[in-house]
Amino acid sequence: MNNLEIEKKWRKKWDETNLYKFDKNNLKDKKYVLEMFSYPSGAKLHVGHWYNFGLSDSYARFLRMQGYNVYQPMGFDAFGLPAENYAIKTGIHPKDSTLKNISIMEEQLRNMGAMFDWDSEVKTCMPDYYKWTQWIFVQLFKHGLAYRKEAPVNWCPSCNTVLANEQVQEGACERCGTEVVRKNLTQWFFKITDYAEELLQDLDKLDWPEKTKLMQKNWIGKSTGGEIEFEIAGHGKSFRAFTTRADTLNGVSYVVLAPEHPLVAEITTKEQKKVVEKYIADVAKSNEIERLSTSKEKSGVWTGAYAVNPINDKQVPIWIADYVLYSYGTGAVMGVPSHDERDFAFAKKFGLPITRVIKGKNGNDELPFCEYGILVNSGKYDGLTTEEAKIKIIEDLAKVGKGELKTNYRLRDWLVSRQRYWGAPIPVVHCPHCGTVAVPEEQLPVELPYDVNFTPDGTSPLAKHDGFMHTKCPKCGGDAMRDPDTLDTFVCSSWYFLRYPDSKNDKEAFNKDWINKMLPVDKYIGGAEHACMHLLYARFFTKALRDMGYLNFDEPFTSLVHQGTILGADGNKMSKSRGNTVSPDDYIAVYGSDVFRMYLGFGFNYIEGGPWSDDGIKAIAKWMERVERIVLKANDFKGGKTDMGSDEKELDFIRNFAIKNVTDNYGTFSFNTAIARMMELTNALSKYADGKEINAKLYKEVCLDLIKLMAPLAPHFAEELWELTGNEYSVFNQKFPKVNEKALVKDEVEIVVQVNAKIRAKLVIANGMDNKQIENLALNDERVKPFTEGKQVKKVIVIPNRLVNIIVC
């Protein structure tokens, strides 16, 4: 078989006959299978794309052969930083390079021989798509879920530009090496925190990997506790601190504000002003990972001011320290060195008092004591447990307006403004009279102009484009300015799965009734690196659009699978700079795409991935050639015997064993073990037709089953064999083989006999023998006796059809 030729032949036929066209009139059996769409950065498909898309397509084909009406769209996440950086470097416009890359990738994706529904294709950088991204922004704005506030960005003072975290290397700009500082800008946010609780609760409904759900849970970071109000001594103002351990309030020996806290400037005394300002400037240079490191030496400075502890009116010093983040909780914490590791280290370093207020239930006296216990040195609260006091103290404070029970989430609102060119413009107009005004729907899209100078010089590139910036206020008609920022590309990718099924709709983002029938996605496949951001943002969008009345489901992705990463042969991530990339094309040119896909399925655990090696690819090619020989032999066999002797039963057993396991394995993306079972079936067929008289009808039946089992992983190959064995087009209109459970019941089974958990014998016994009989057989076996003689049999454990364990002493 000439793989390259037959692959071309069948792709043409599939196209001409519209074989894979999704049937819009049969939604009863619909399965929406979706792979995370790709970013068109490099021009060509790499092994990772093949691994994700090729094997997901095999899963989709398996569903099709099980009788489902499979919908599997494809598109491109086309806005983003790399194209813009490439443009700055080379002068090639992001639109030109992106569209060129897309067309090359489309061509390659078509040659993969997958069932993609190209009619549904979306490209997020095209106005017919981002028009609706902007529309969603406007809806969020109208519903109070988009708002503006100040937030810090990485700023390179030399390049005069905002840097992505990725562009900051050890605190310095990757382009010029200048030290990066944090600078506040007014930016757009989406209020994902409004949905924190639901995003947390609904995780239980999802068929997702447990680890992914756990990561999202920790990312949302719910903690229940209370807010406590501290007055600033002699100042008249106050601030609140969030704590989960209000029971330790009497042990507070200082409080800490985040360096960015607005009160800091007000309360800092003359004497402390210099050190405080110096400290704030230093902190502005560090990132959050450094700030929150628990192994790093504690740092902080005193503001000179004091706060009043509302529980006992004692004055405690107010410090600022980098480990307190302004973005979490209230941006202020109370310091209880006796019962918190971090506070303990801080107090030790700066000589602050340490007072025990919780005693261990078993008299543990070592500090810091961070477990729950009994209150001491706490006045009227002495003797209460932590659990009781946490609530009681807050309730008492609430009565005098100094506290309240509070639930906090680590999750922060989503910052969506980017001071960049290559993204969807934010559809907002700033009017001197009317303020911030959303662009009305009929004026969308706000088109991204082509002729923009995006070399970095201190402002958003769009701000320099007069034709874009100057506009009229949609409300009052007066002169107004557009928002010069663009949207984070995560915004584009948070709803593309809603656009696919209705991608040609130019009246609305999607037709509500239709999308409610097509969604949610039945199986979503993509990398685990998206666990906390993309997958959370998409869930948020779905819930927000549901609450606006556009959707009637709660979750976008019912079931989720993460494919692993294929690394370079050296075990590192593939990258051009490392020179360890692997080109699928080189292999496909030699072996064809089916062999390549089959190898990707066989050589790795799909969920785990691993370093690339082509050691086994030749073996796969040989195995498939062997299958071809074995299957085509079926055409030559005529007549022969028709009864089912023991050889026939053995072959039938292996056939059904393969069908059962392959079916399960496709469902769990365990392609490697599925292929192992197909190889066993191949071996069994070869052994069966080893010269002696055979049952030709059975042989052919088994061969046809093998073709069907292989079809999802080697679609062209299977189609060709299906035709060569005299069957009607197409194998993909065939039903996947069904297991005959009866053939799997063996007359005899082998069980293991252990004495004190060590294997001493193996017995072949009749299937279904009762436990007492098995026990007797085991105890009387000649090979077992030497190990039990002279000893007392304490217990015998019989696991039916598996083993006997005799415990002696």
Partner RNA sequence: GCCGAAGUGGUGGAAUGGCAGACGCGACGGACUCAAAAUCCGUUGUUGGCGACAACGUGCGGGUUCAAGUCCCGCCUUCGGCACCA
Choose between 510 and 671: whose C-beta lies nearer to RNA.
671
Q: Do 249 and 393 form a contact (C-beta atoms < 8 A)? A: yes
Q: Please, is 504 exposed, middle or buried when counting C-beta atoms within 10 Å of its C-beta (0-12, 13-18, 19+)?
A: exposed
Binding residues for RNA restricted to 425-484, rule: CB under 7 A: none
Identity at 223, one-letter amino acid code: S
Determine, following the binding rule CB under 7 A, whether residue 219 of this chain makes contact with RNA.
yes
Binding residues for RNA restricted to 681-720, rule: CB under 7 A: 682-683, 686-687
Choose between 164 and 176: whose C-beta lies nearer to RNA.
164
* Phi, psi torsion values for 601, nearest 5 degrees: -70, -35
Determine, following the binding rule CB under 7 A, whether residue 39 of this chain makes contact with RNA.
yes
Stretches 4-12, 43-51, 706-714, 793-801: which one binds RNA (CB under 7 A)?
Answer: 793-801
Binding residues for RNA restricted to 297-316, rule: CB under 7 A: none
Nearest distance from C-beta of residue 200 to RNA, angstroms: 13
- Select from 663, 679, 681, 738 the least CA-distant residue to 59: 663
Q: Which of 452, 528, 694, 713 is in the footprint of RNA by CB under 7 A?
A: 528
Stretches 498-506, 711-719, 752-760, 765-773: which one binds RNA (CB under 7 A)?
Answer: 752-760
Choose between 30 and 191: whose C-beta lies nearer to RNA.
191
Nearest distance from C-beta of residue 322 to RNA, angstroms: 13
Binding residues for RNA restricted to 340-369, rule: CB under 7 A: none
Q: Do 681 and 615 form a contact (C-beta atoms < 8 A)? A: no
- Give the contacts of 44 (CB within 8 A, at least 6 positions apart): 104, 105, 108, 583, 585
Read off the tokens for 770. Answer: 């009762």
In angstroms, the Cα distances linking 600 to 280, 587, 672, 679 are: 52, 12, 9, 15
Determine, following the binding rule CB under 7 A, whether residue 573 of this chain makes contact with RNA.
yes
Nearest distance from C-beta of residue 361 to RNA, angstroms: 19
Nearest distance from C-beta of residue 384 to RNA, angstroms: 28
CA 9, 10, 16, 17 dihedral sign is: positive
CA 595 to chain centre: 29
Read off the tokens for 124. Answer: 């997020």
Determine, following the binding rule CB under 7 A, whether residue 529 of this chain makes contact with RNA.
yes
CA-to-CA distance for 153 and 172, rounded, in angstroms?
14
Q: Where are the alpha helices (DSSP H) in 155-209?
A: 196-201
Read off the tokens for 84. Answer: 């813009």
Q: Which of 204, 442, 615, 643 is in the footprint of RNA by CB under 7 A?
A: 615
Q: Where are the alpha helices (DSSP H) in 405-469?
A: 466-469
Q: Which of 27, 281, 745, 799 is in the footprint of RNA by CB under 7 A?
A: 799
- Select from 480, 489, 467, 487 the least CA-distant residue to 439: 480
Read off the tokens for 157. Answer: 């003072």
Determine, following the binding rule CB under 7 A, whether residue 750 of this chain makes contact with RNA.
yes
| Angle value at C-alpha 696, between 691 and 697, nearest 5 degrees | 160
Read off the tokens for 28. Answer: 């009863």
Stretches 14-22, 211-219, 251-259, 265-273: which one binds RNA (CB under 7 A)?
Answer: 211-219
* Site map 624..643 versus RNA, x via CB under 7 A: -xx-----------------
Stretches 304-312, 652-660, 665-673, 767-775: which one binds RNA (CB under 7 A)?
Answer: 665-673
Stretches 66-74, 303-311, 313-321, 485-493: which one binds RNA (CB under 7 A)?
Answer: 485-493
How many other C-beta atoms lie within 10 A of the C-beta of residue 352?
18
Determine, following the binding rule CB under 7 A, whether residue 797 of this chain makes contact with RNA.
yes
Which neighbouring-strand residues pair with 315? Answer: 308
Determine, following the binding rule CB under 7 A, whether residue 411 of this chain makes contact with RNA.
yes
Nearest distance from C-beta of residue 269 to RNA, angstroms: 32
Q: Which of 244, 558, 672, 734 is in the footprint of RNA by CB under 7 A?
A: 672
Choose between 381 and 688: whose C-beta lies nearer to RNA.
688
Tokens 């584009």: give the residue. 492
Read off the tokens for 643. Answer: 């009864």
Nearest distance from C-beta of residue 796 to RNA, angstroms: 9
Max Cα-Cα span within the chain: 105
Binding residues for RNA restricted to 164-193, rule: CB under 7 A: 164-167, 185, 187
Q: Show contacts of 163-171: CB within 8 Å, 24+ apart.
A: 164/81, 165/287, 166/81, 168/287, 171/285, 171/286, 171/287
Determine, following the binding rule CB under 7 A, whether residue 250 of this chain makes contact with RNA.
no
Nearest distance from C-beta of residue 119 to RNA, angstroms: 23
- Select from 127, 29, 112, 25 the least CA-distant residue to 74: 112
Identity at 262, one-letter amino acid code: P
Choose between 396 and 647: whose C-beta lies nearer to RNA.
647
CA 616 to chain centre: 30
Q: Which of 110, 222, 359, 410 is in the footprint of RNA by CB under 7 A?
A: 410
Determine, following the binding rule CB under 7 A, whether residue 150 of this chain makes contact with RNA.
no
Stretches 58-66, 171-179, 405-413, 713-721: which one binds RNA (CB under 7 A)?
Answer: 405-413
Nearest distance from C-beta of residue 768 to RNA, angstroms: 16
Determine, following the binding rule CB under 7 A, whether residue 324 of this chain makes contact with RNA.
no
Tokens 């035709």: give the residue. 723
Choose between 30 and 183: whose C-beta lies nearer to RNA.
183
Q: Which of 561, 675, 706, 731 is in the footprint of RNA by CB under 7 A?
A: 675
Choose between 419 and 730: whose C-beta lies nearer to RNA.
419
Nearest distance from C-beta of residue 146 to RNA, angstroms: 14
Binding residues for RNA restricted to 537-556, rule: CB under 7 A: none
In angstroms, the Cα distances linking 559 to 88, 798, 808 are: 40, 38, 49
Binding residues for RNA restricted to 75-134, rule: CB under 7 A: 77, 79-82
Determine, following the binding rule CB under 7 A, whether residue 218 of this chain makes contact with RNA.
yes
- For the CA atoms of 778, 780, 786, 790, what is the dihedral angle to 10 degrees? 110
Choose between 485 and 502: whose C-beta lies nearer to RNA.
485
Q: Which of 134, 243, 503, 754 is in the footprint of RNA by CB under 7 A?
A: 754
Tokens 């499979």: give the residue. 70
CA-to-CA distance for 320 and 226, rounded, in angstroms?
21
Stretches 86-94, 672-680, 717-725, 729-737: which one binds RNA (CB under 7 A)?
Answer: 672-680
Nearest distance from C-beta of residue 232 to RNA, angstroms: 28
CA-to-CA distance for 280 and 374, rounded, in angstroms?
39
Nearest distance from C-beta of residue 482 to RNA, angstroms: 18
Determine, following the binding rule CB under 7 A, whether residue 246 of this chain makes contact with RNA.
no
How many other C-beta atoms lie within 10 A of the C-beta of residue 201?
10
Determine, following the binding rule CB under 7 A, whether residue 603 of this chain makes contact with RNA.
yes
Determine, following the binding rule CB under 7 A, whether residue 770 of this chain makes contact with RNA.
no
Determine, following the binding rule CB under 7 A, whether residue 417 of this chain makes contact with RNA.
yes
Report helix, strand or coil for 242: strand
Read off the tokens for 448. Answer: 């991204």
Q: Do 542 and 554 form a contact (C-beta atoms < 8 A)? A: yes
Determine, following the binding rule CB under 7 A, whether residue 493 of this chain makes contact with RNA.
yes
Q: Which of 610, 639, 645, 768 is in the footprint of RNA by CB under 7 A?
A: 610
Determine, following the binding rule CB under 7 A, whether residue 660 of this chain makes contact with RNA.
no
CA 430, 434, 438, 442 dihedral sign is: negative
Q: Which of 23, 29, 107, 288 is in the footprint of RNA by CB under 7 A?
A: 288
Read off the tokens for 646. Answer: 């023991």
Choose between 474 and 611: whose C-beta lies nearer to RNA.
611
